[in-house]
Amino acid sequence: MRPVHQWVWSDVDRRLRKLLTFADVETDGGRDIVRAAEVTPDPLLRRLYLEHAIDELRHGVMFRERGAALFRARPSRGAVLFSGNPLPGGHGLDDLTIKGEPDYRLLAFLHVAEKAAAGRFEIYREVVDDDPATRAIFDEILRDEVFHMNYTYTQLARIRPQGYRRQVWQARASRLWKRYLRLAIVVASAISGMVLTLMYFVVLAPFAVLAKRAARREPGGWTPIAPPGSNSSTSLY
């Protein structure tokens, strides 16, 4: 996947769109984790959740400010056509569900998401060597991601000592399943578009030709109607 990432980040417009997408994901994730801090009964987790949320919101600001700087500096103002992001490129915290979720399940989800994000951000940092400012942002965020990844695993083992590994595997499987569903939707949409296009040319086109031929055989103008053979004695006309 590294060549794909290099291609995505090599273009200024795609780089801009990725940064703004990351800003939205980080900000939304921070809000969700604030909600988790509000509902957890564990005082230690509440403090850690709040620190985590502050980091996520700060990351959103950093990505947004860098995206705005790239927007001001880019030479053209053409439309950005492709974000290079058919699947989540940040944490995937858009999948985060707070209501009704116990802390151990939330911690497992956060651990898997932060670990995946740390791996991707490591690659992103390497492919933006030509952009020191963006690379510095990834350097700083990576340090936070490592802390988030470690604290979530430690706290998961604390509150779920007997089954914390199973919770991590379940969170990873759920994440993969949701990604598969996203990919399946994209593929199904593309296939349905191709099928409808083929139907238009293969099925509807012959009917259109036959309809034109039938129209040419029809006489022009009004068609006279023969009068009835006899008038009814009860008719008014």
Instruction: State the 10-residue block means of pLDDT for the chain, 237 residues long.
Output: 80 89 92 92 94 95 93 68 47 63 89 90 90 92 93 93 84 78 84 83 76 75 66 59
What confidence score (pLDDT) does residue 215 get? 74
Burial of 101 (0-12, 13-18, 19+ CB in 10 A): middle
Using the CB atoms, write b or e for 34-66: b if 16+ within 10 Å. Answer: bebbeebeeeebeebbebbbebbbbbbebbbeb
Domain layout of the chain by residue ranges: 2-191
Question: CATH classification of 2-191, choosing from 3.40.50.2300, 1.20.1260.10, 2.40.400.10, 3.40.50.300?
Answer: 1.20.1260.10
Q: For the full predicted model, state whether its pTM sits above 0.75.
A: no
Phi, psi of 28 (to 5 degrees): -65, -40
CA gap 160, 222 in Å, rounded: 86
Other C-beta atoms lying within 10 Å of the C-beta of residue 151: 20
